[in-house]
Structure 1
């Protein structure tokens, strides 16, 4: 009975600690970081993203000030002075002025990126919306921090009966961390992940009523195919029935062309990795993929999407004499897959490559297609991880075009780290150019004197692509790509700020698609010279390249 009577008083005593006044020092530090977060980064940010970012960095600044103060008290150092009420109000006013200045400059800062990208300039910054979202995010995070503090204090009081005070405080902190991590990772994060995955899975299964299965026997999903129409997935169904046909390619070249082959296996086609790879291989054999001049193993993005800008240009350049094969390995988008499980899909990629490469090497060199690899975003990373380069120099494949290689790619990082000192990080020059060359919107593939070797590896990346250039070291070190020699599509007003820049670029990854030719949205006009360099098609000239770029100028990614 006594516990029940004391419980309301205990709750009342907790309320001031949960909803009490905020630390003036924390508000000031948070305001500075909030204002800095409004400065431009790699891509233009909308008010929703900007508000979430601002609220996050404000809470981080507030927490940093709290941790410093707690550390000083823990060391037994008493503060030199306590601010008066007037001084506290002055700190609040200064914090408001700092935030106001950042919001006032926000439009100009965002326009500095939009001008470079050729986008219309903003007239305003949706200040009220940004502030509302930032306040909500910051309040939620600060409230969570206070709950954490109360939990740590509770465990401290319990363990202080048996342990020295400082040891008990450390134990209480570790126990509170364990409980919070279990709640966040085991409940909130996994629930959100399951929800996203389930939603994406349902969307992948839905077949629009006006989308009929193909009638051509050589197309996956047809009655003659080994792969059922419903097992191609949302992106697979659209992929196999789209793209240029024989007549369109022939009209461009003004001479006969072949019908390109597109083979795709969805995630629901079979229960195991090996079965899906074998199904794709068998379908490729059935439709005559090994009888074409070019054979491309394409690794899609996290959701299973293949960029029409890459696939259509490939088929035009090869005059339709090409077969492409791909397997879906996830329902999640590439940014989500990179965060959750970047190696998801590696088994599919390896299984498919091993089957195709094994069959390819068993054929006479004079009677087999030229073998290439391709991947975009997470697909580029998986494609690179698939290839055992050191084990195949005796009978190498012919090359690869990897677009938008994500920051977690060891091969891409190696190219950057070992580049020529006179080349920028956003378009590195590697070795003598006989194995690896890199390009962006302004070219770069022609900067070598040494001829290509037996393998041509081409990297295509934009200097404004946050998925390519994100790195956790942005929190404490200025990157090379943000120094004097910058990419032409990177805003001139972007500055490196410890921690804040890492968070800015991290948020940029979520909104890097939407402006064709910038960020993580790659355009057909930039794929064309990259594919031409990779494939080395006979009779290719700058005039043909320019004509194809003009022919596909209206091609959009989706």
Structure 2
């Protein structure tokens, strides 16, 4: 009997058959979907973008669109949903290319108008024409980089699949190849490029933190943190800590503005270099608070700074002035990285430090006489809001609760914010939720104050300040395939009415907006001092504070912001 020859040809992976690894040609379907994604990327978004930033965003989104189109073709063919080649009619390639060209041209002709629609609601002047070249050149370069990286990824997957398919069934080889390729690329990226970049940024931020600005002299008053009598060294407070301590309004400044007797507000700050461990830094914070007499003040605020250790003066100055300086505020640095990097890469740093500081100070506070101890509030901006919401255990202190919290620009993952947003009452928008009867939680923005007609405040007060145009607050992964509620609701004044939901694109747009959300004060993730003042006033309701004083302080803060 004649033996059949053995087929020594290696199996060809499905994705290699259908072009996922091709460098010499482009997919017509991929180009068509990429052009639609390019069109959607130029439409109004939450944050105003300059041409270069818009080009980067459009390049990334267009690249994702192309890969989705290519993947869709592969999936349809791999699942054998296509008609046999000899029996099907296909559109000529030039028709698809013409359609893509028309879509891209239409998008570029409307780019100026769409860009200025976002700028209009942010109070920014229109950009002049001439954006097209900058957008096209940047987007093309970024798209090319995404395209090459995708081809390299699928080439690696294909090689792995070739080897695996010799010993396992094709479908198992398919899944194994994707998983192994993804793991390989992630290891290379995370282990080399990303890690190197993060280390470089971390070292640069640490070096900046060491820099002592000669324009910020060391305090001479004994009660100031960093002075000769302080438990903390001035140079170890870090750049942000020194700025926070030194920028506090003085007794004379407060008296001149309010026309009433005042005192110097207390500001305590512990830098990351002040001690080695979380608990040691928390203990230092408590010891310094005791030394300067913080527990003799009427209000104590335990604040969690942002990733770099920044304490926004716009958030604390209004409180110091409103209370006539009768307030002590403390913050402890936990990182040198910016909040997005610190939150994604090392969230445990902020969580563990915030927990140690709060628990240490709260334990001391509970042992003080209730009729003489200060009112206790927590404060958090951005990552600080996430940290405090994640670590303060409200149920554990119901027998002796603190007075409340102010959270500003809470990241979308913040647990208390998610509970309030998702459990809001019917008819209240996502960006200004009404929770329960209003006795525990209230939310405001730059256009709306505290709601009337709600129940009186209870023993604990929680206030959220956030803007509808803040992508850090409004982002959701579900927006990739589901229209978010804030697209369905009446738009806030700082969100363009021309904003449209597009699957996948909207999620990418909002994610990219998070990187540029601090450009304009009073919009996005840049919170205005006047709004901080309104939030603090509604939370504390100081007895001696009048409407006229609020107007005078608002004028003062507005004039200072304009300088």
TM-score category, normalised to shorter length: over 0.9
Give CA deviations for 1:276-299 in whole Å, capped at 9, x if unaligned: 111111111111111111111011
Segment drifting more, 258-267 vs 44-53? 44-53
1:81/1:131 Cα in 2 relative to 1: closer, same or farther (>3 Å)?
A: farther
Counterparts of residues 121-200 of structure 1 (less than 5 Å) = 121-124=126-129, 126-200=131-205
Counterparts of residues 40-439 of structure 1 (less than 5 Å) = 40-76=44-80, 77=82, 78-79=84-85, 81=88, 87-124=92-129, 126-439=131-444
Segment drifting more, 277-286 vs 480-489? 480-489
User: How far is the alpha carbon of 1:386 from its aligned partner?
Assistant: 2.4
1:160/1:385 Cα in 2 relative to 1: closer, same or farther (>3 Å)?
A: closer
Gaps of 5+ in 1: 1-15
> Aligned to 2:427, what secondary structure does the other structure show?
coil
Segment drifting more, 50-59 vs 242-251? 50-59
Q: Is the 8 A contact 2:272 2:332 kept in 1?
A: yes
> Aligned to 2:347, what secondary structure does the other structure show?
coil
> Aligned to 1:443, what secondary structure does the other structure show?
coil
User: How far is the alpha carbon of 1:482 from its aligned partner?
Assistant: 1.6
Runs of 4+ residues deviating >6 angstroms: none
The answer to whether 1:546 aligns with 2:551 is yes
1:168/1:454 Cα in 2 relative to 1: closer, same or farther (>3 Å)?
A: closer
Q: Is the 8 A contact 2:269 2:285 kept in 1?
A: yes
User: How far is the alpha carbon of 1:192 from its aligned partner?
Assistant: 1.6
The answer to whether 1:26 aligns with 2:30 is yes
Cα RMSD, aligned residues only: 1.9
User: How far is the alpha carbon of 1:185 from its aligned partner?
Assistant: 1.8
User: How far is the alpha carbon of 1:368 from its aligned partner?
Assistant: 0.8
Equivalent in the alignment of 2:11: none
Q: Is the 8 A contact 2:241 2:271 kept in 1?
A: yes
The alignment covers a number of residue pairs equal to 542
1:67/1:96 Cα in 2 relative to 1: closer, same or farther (>3 Å)?
A: same
Distance 1:254 1:71 in 2: 73
Q: Is the 8 A contact 2:38 2:61 kept in 1?
A: yes
Equivalent in the alignment of 1:6: none
Distance 2:146 2:394 in 1: 47
The answer to whether 1:460 aligns with 2:468 is no
Q: Is the 8 A contact 1:523 1:557 kept in 2?
A: no
1:444/1:186 Cα in 2 relative to 1: closer, same or farther (>3 Å)?
A: same
Q: What TM-score results when the alignment is normalised by the length of structure 1?
A: 0.93
User: How far is the alpha carbon of 1:58 from its aligned partner?
Assistant: 1.4
User: How far is the alpha carbon of 1:534 from its aligned partner?
Assistant: 0.9
Distance 1:333 1:250 in 2: 36
The answer to whether 1:39 aligns with 2:43 is yes
Segment drifting more, 163-172 vs 221-230? 163-172
1:342/1:487 Cα in 2 relative to 1: closer, same or farther (>3 Å)?
A: farther
Distance 1:156 1:353 in 2: 52
Distance 1:139 1:348 in 2: 43
Distance 2:537 2:132 in 1: 47
Gaps of 5+ in 2: 1-19
